[in-house]
């Protein structure tokens, strides 16, 4: 059962376009507190699992959000951690007048189906979605889409305090707030992107954490597949490299992110996580050595295996 239950209220604006929240952060790597990474405290196994869950969520944002097929209509996306609790119906009622657009229809001078300059606004008073299973989803904030070139196939997405909150049975909640910029250069074969954005996460089950990313992302469609900004992502290989600074309270840790083997996205997989193979290393380095959090995917609908390798002892 997919967590991407599309709420097709605004689909008439651009055929097939929908909103998914890409995980983002700002250009600064100083963290939400303004502190530089200390990398002094050890990475516990419990924290390593939290980091793995958060990274899976961010990768899910890449596979659903870095396409203009994922921009125009609200899409419900259950956080990775919440899927272990909420397994009920994913059909959400659709409120009227959500979202609103800075112009209608959007200007597209080069007819590449990328708006020249469009701001999409979500008001939580209007953008509240519910199910019979006592789950409520709200969106608040803005997405600004810019076509930076009338010749190159590129687009820029700016997130402004874009927040999604999921509340289950009135007591459990998961919140994700996104700020910053993602820029893409596209072709029929895929895309390359820079993600220099910030995502803040909190929930009723975990302390607040902030992830500031500096990622280089590339996607190559499978043979016979074609990438188009206005279409859903086809099957293909995803590669991520860069760094993520994680801030929780006064603790600021810097991680390097490396793709060991390309992460294969299967567009036909009907599961929450449609990465079906591949391997990612998240490495935390301090004076006493390095801790590696390895995430390895193996199959549609199968939770990846998370392995934590602590520093070698002498």
Q: Looking at the domain assignment, is residue 314 inside a domain? A: no
> Which residues lie below 8 Å from residue 48, measured CB to CB, with a gap of 6+?
291, 293, 306, 308
Q: Looking at the domain assignment, is residue 208 inside a domain? A: yes
Give φ, ψ of 226 to 5 degrees: -135, 135
* CB-count exposure of residue 271 (10 Å: 0-12, 13-18, 19+): middle
Whole-number pLDDT of residue 30: 41
Q: Looking at the domain assignment, is residue 259 inside a domain? A: yes
pLDDT in tens, 7-26: 333 333 332 233 333 333 33
pLDDT in tens, 281-294: 999 999 889 999 99
What are residue 256's DSSP bridge partners? 243, 283
Q: Looking at the domain assignment, is residue 218 inside a domain? A: yes
Whole-number pLDDT of residue 23: 33
Q: Looking at the domain assignment, is residue 57 inside a domain? A: yes
Whole-number pLDDT of residue 217: 96
Q: Looking at the domain assignment, is residue 180 inside a domain? A: yes
What b-and-e string marks burial along 164-174, b requiring 16 or more CB atoms within 10 Å of the CB?
bbbbbeeeebb
- Domains of the chain: total: 1
Whole-number pLDDT of residue 32: 46
Which regions of the chain are under pLDDT 70? Answer: 1-35, 65-67, 69-81, 83-94, 131-133, 314
How many CB atoms are closer than 10 A to CB 102? Answer: 14
Cα torsion 244, 219, 106, 2: sign: negative
What are residue 219's DSSP bridge partners? 191, 238
Whole-number pLDDT of residue 296: 98
Whole-number pLDDT of residue 76: 62
Across all residues in the chain, what is the average pLDDT?
82
Strands 135-146 and 275-286: unpaired
Instruction: Tell how far CA 88 is from the center of its chain.
Output: 22
- C-alpha span between 215 and 25 (Å, rounded): 10
Whole-number pLDDT of residue 309: 94
Instruction: Give the domain extent around 280.
Output: 5-309
Give me the DSSP letters along the chain. --S-EE-GGGTTTSTT----------S--S-TTSPPP---S---HHHHHHHHHHHHHHHHHHHHHSSGGGSSS-EE---TGGGGT--S-------TT-SEESSSSPP-TT-SSS-SEEEEEE-TTT-EEE-TTSEEEEEEEEEEEE---SSS-EEEEEEEEEEEEEEETTTEEEEEEEEEEEEEEEETTEEEEEEEEEEEEEESSS--EEEEEEEEEEEEEPTT----TTSPPPSEEEEEEEEEEEEETTEEEEEEEEEEEEEEE-TT--SS--EEEEEEEEEEEETTEEEEEEEEEESTT-PPEEEEEPPPP-
From the list 304, 195, 206, the residue with the least C-alpha distance to 248 is 206
Find the farthest-apart pair of alpha carbons in the chain and give their distance in angstroms, rounded: 65
């Amino acid at each position: 059962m997919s967590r991407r239950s599309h709420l097709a209220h605004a689909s008439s604006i651009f055929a097939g376009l929908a909103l998914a929240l890409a995980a983002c952060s700002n250009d600064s790597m100083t963290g939400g507190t303004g502190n530089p990474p200390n990398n002094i405290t050890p990475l516990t196994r419990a924290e390593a699992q939290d980091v793995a869950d958060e990274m899976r969520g961010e990768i899910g944002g890449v596979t659903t959000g870095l396409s203009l097929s994922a921009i125009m209509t609200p899409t419900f996306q259950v956080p990775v951690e919440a899927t272990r609790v909420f397994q009920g119906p994913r059909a959400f009622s659709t409120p009227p007048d959500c979202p609103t657009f800075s112009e209608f229809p959007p200007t597209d001078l080069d007819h590449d189906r990328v708006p020249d300059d469009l701001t999409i606004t979500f008001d939580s008073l209007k953008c509240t979605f519910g199910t019979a299973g006592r789950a409520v989803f709200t969106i608040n904030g803005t997405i600004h889409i810019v076509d930076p070139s009338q010749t190159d196939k590129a687009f820029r997405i700016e997130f402004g305090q874009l927040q999604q909150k999921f509340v289950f049975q009135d007591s459990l909640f998961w919140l994700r707030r996104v700020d910053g910029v993602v820029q893409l250069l596209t072709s029929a074969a895929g895309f390359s992107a820079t993600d220099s954005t910030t995502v803040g996460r909190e929930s009723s089950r975990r302390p607040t954490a902030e992830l500031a990313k500096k990622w280089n992302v590339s996607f190559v469609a499978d043979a016979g597949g074609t990438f188009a900004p206005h279409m859903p992502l086809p099957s293909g290989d995803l590669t991520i490299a860069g760094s993520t600074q994680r801030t929780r309270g006064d603790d600021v840790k810097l991680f390097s992110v490396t793709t060991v083997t390309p992460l294969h996205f299967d567009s036909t997989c009907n599961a929450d996580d449609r990465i079906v193979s591949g391997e990612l290393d998240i490495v935390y380095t301090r004076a006493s050595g390095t801790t590696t959090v390895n995430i390895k995917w193996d199959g549609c609908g199968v939770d990846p295996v998370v392995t934590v390798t602590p520093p070698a002892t002498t």
